[in-house]
Every structure is written in C-alpha cells, then in structure tokens.
Amino acid sequence: METVDKGMVDPGRRALTDALGRRISYLRISVTDRCDLRCRYCMAERMTFLPKDQVLTLEEIALLADLFIARGVRRIRLTGGEPLVRRDIVDLVHRIGRHVGKGLDEVTLTTNGTRLAQHAQALADAGVRRINVSMDSRDPDRFAHVTRNGDIRLVFEGLEAAQAAGLAVKINMVALKGINEDEILPMLHWCDAQGFDLTLIETMPLGETGEDRTDHYLPLTQVADAIGARHALTPIAHRTGGPARYHAVEGLGARLGLITPLTRNFCADCNRMRMTCEGKIFMCLGHEDHVDLKSAFREGGTAAVEPLIDRALRLKPAAHDFRIGAGAPAAVRRHMSVTGG
C-alpha cells in the first residue's frame, strides 16, 4: 500500500485517504460514454448515450483533474467509452500532461485502437508515454463478432502508429470461454514479438448486454495454469497503478498481467477512484454509490467540490461483490462504458 508523499500534496489540502486508510493516488476519468464498437461483454447492441449538455466540458474535466492532482493524485488515465471519439481530446491531454513531473507521474489512455492511427503522434507530443489497447482477438472474423462488426485492420494500423510514435503498448484482452480462449497463448507470443505487454481480464458483471456472461466466463486461474504448462510464471513487483498483478513469463520478454475481479479479489490495496463524463465519482466499480460533482462545480467551483470528494472517501467500500452464475443479474445497472474501464 502506498504511503502519502507529503511533498507532492498541496499543503493547504488534505491528501486523498479513505476510511480504511487506503491512499488514493490514481484517478480514472471517463471522457465520454460513447464508443464506436459494441463489445458483447461491455455494451448492449443498442445503447442510449448521454445528451451533450449532461457531459462535462473538457475545460471542466481539466479543472477537476487539477484539483485531484493538488490533493495527491499521481496517475490519471483517460478512458471512455472510447476516449478518442471525443472531439479535441488531445487538448485535454495537453492540459493534464503539463502536470507530469510537477506532482503527476503520468497521464495515460485506454483505447480500442480504431482511431489511434490518427492520434498516436499527437498523444505522444502531449505527454503520453504508454497506452492500453483493448483487443480480444487478432482474427478479423472473431474480432468482428466480439465487437459487433469492428474492423481489426484499424487496430493494427493504430498499433503501428503507436510504435512509430514511441508509445509503450499494453494489450488488454478479456478472456472469453468458447470465443477466444484458444488465442490467449498465441496472443502472448505475438505481444512478445511486438514488444508489447499483455494483460488478461476476467469478464465483469456490469450492465445488461443482452447476453448471459456466464456462458463465456473464463476464470484466469485456469488460464494461468494452461500458460504455466508451457512457460513458468513468476510473480514480479511491477505495477502500473491499476489492479493487474504481473508475472514474468519464462522464455519471453513480455510481462503478463492478470486482473481477477472474480477469482482473486484485489480490493485490499485499492488506490483508485473513477470520475464519469457527467462528473459523478464512483468509489468502486462494483457499487452504485457515488457523489455528483457537476452541479456543485458549476455553481461553486472547486471549493464546493472538495467536501463532496471527502464524502466519497468516507463512503468508499471495503470491496466489490462481483458474482457470476446462470441467470445472475449484473452487479450494477450501469455499463462499463459509463464508468470507464
């Protein structure tokens, strides 16, 4: 668990520490709930998105990010939906990126990669040094099935542009039984050849997608055992701020991360809060409790927001309670794209 670095927190403000003593140093900001894909485990095929007047402006997001940095946030990740569908997103990255080295360790991005070719160099110029790219299959037909007609060629073009821009890349792959389990080891080998790391993720019961996630739930304990039969896995101390636990892979240079919300709870050392594009702070991905910063900020600025952040810290739960099983309802009604992955 991280300790408070007093030198990096505005001395006039309290550091972000919750009721359980967990230090909050990582803020994930969903800049839009919109996405140009419809991944089956994430979204319904027909989605209703927020009206634009309910979404924070980029300037508002930047000012709220300033406040969190002043209170000790060291990492900010921009997510969505798909963040690169938000117009002028690079301007926001520039605005937040000016804090890197001055209280902020990094600003990063999670993207599906479909628009990365157009933005990779600009993101690098704005201060981004590494990105996560969500890609659950390299097979064109399978990718189209999972994403409901996405074009894998756009992702490959984006990855090529990211490499050319000097961005470090980590591939995020949701493990899906009966869909891509036969691709996991080949994906790890491919990532190694490309110079990428790979993180595998268990499907999370968030929002109704029109499909039963139980049909495709693949515990990563099984996946790790299967990989371990070919390449010994050794836990390492490498961390990127999120819940992934990393392993060295015998014979490969790629690091393997595992995010296990169902088979191995990782909440004891949670260091994260999430802000949605409409200014709601969710203290936990698996709970509906939240505080709404937007109205307070628009009426009273950061002074009105700070007490709400303190309230969110007091309310942050000890752990999520994700469960999966035949007919089990989603843990929360909102989709992953609303909160930010």
Look up the CATH number of the domain holding residue 126. Answer: 3.20.20.70
User: What pLDDT sits at residue 41?
Assistant: 84
Was 170 annotated as part of a binding site? yes
- Quick check: is 119 in a domain? yes
In a domain, 244, yes or no: yes
Instruction: Provide the pLDDT for residue 205.
Output: 66
145, 217, 135: which is closest to 175 by C-alpha?
A: 217
- 277 is an annotated ligand-binding site residue: no
Low-confidence ranges of the chain (pLDDT < 50): 1-7, 330
Burial of 59: CB neighbours in 10 Å, binned 0-12, 13-18, 19+ = exposed
Tell whether 204 is in a known binding site: yes
30 annotated to a ligand binding site: no
Long-range own/partner contacts, residues 17-20 (CB < 8 A, 24 or more apart): 17/313, 18/283, 18/313, 18/314, 18/316, 19/313, 19/314, 19/315, 19/316, 20/316, 20/318
Looking at the domain assignment, is residue 226 inside a domain?
yes
Any domain includes 82:
yes
State the total domains in the chain: 1
272 assigned to a ligand binding site: yes
Q: Return the structure tokens found at 245.
A: 């636990």
Asked whether residue 1 is assigned to any structural domain, the reply reads: no
Identify whether 17 is part of a domain: yes
The response to whether 134 counts as a known ligand-binding position is yes
**pLDDT of amino acid 213:** 60
Secondary structure (3-state) at 318 = coil
Known binder of ligand: residue 191? no
* Domain assignment of residue 229, given as a range: 6-339
Alpha-carbon distance of 64 to 68, in angstroms, equals 6
Strand pairing class (272-275; 26-30): parallel
What pLDDT score was predicted for residue 333? Answer: 57
Q: For residue 16, is it left (φ>0), alpha (ψ between -120 and 50) or beta?
A: beta
pLDDT in tens, 160-211: 999 999 999 999 999 999 999 999 999 999 999 999 999 999 987 655 555 6
pLDDT confidence of residue 295: 93
- Asked if the structure places residue 115 within a domain, the reply is yes
The answer to whether residue 231 is domain-embedded is yes
The answer to whether 3 is annotated as binding is: no
**292 near 252, Cβ under 8 Å?**
no
The whole-number pLDDT of residue 2 equals 35
**The pLDDT value given to residue 169:** 98
Q: Kindly report whether the global pTM for this prediction surpasses the value 0.85.
A: yes
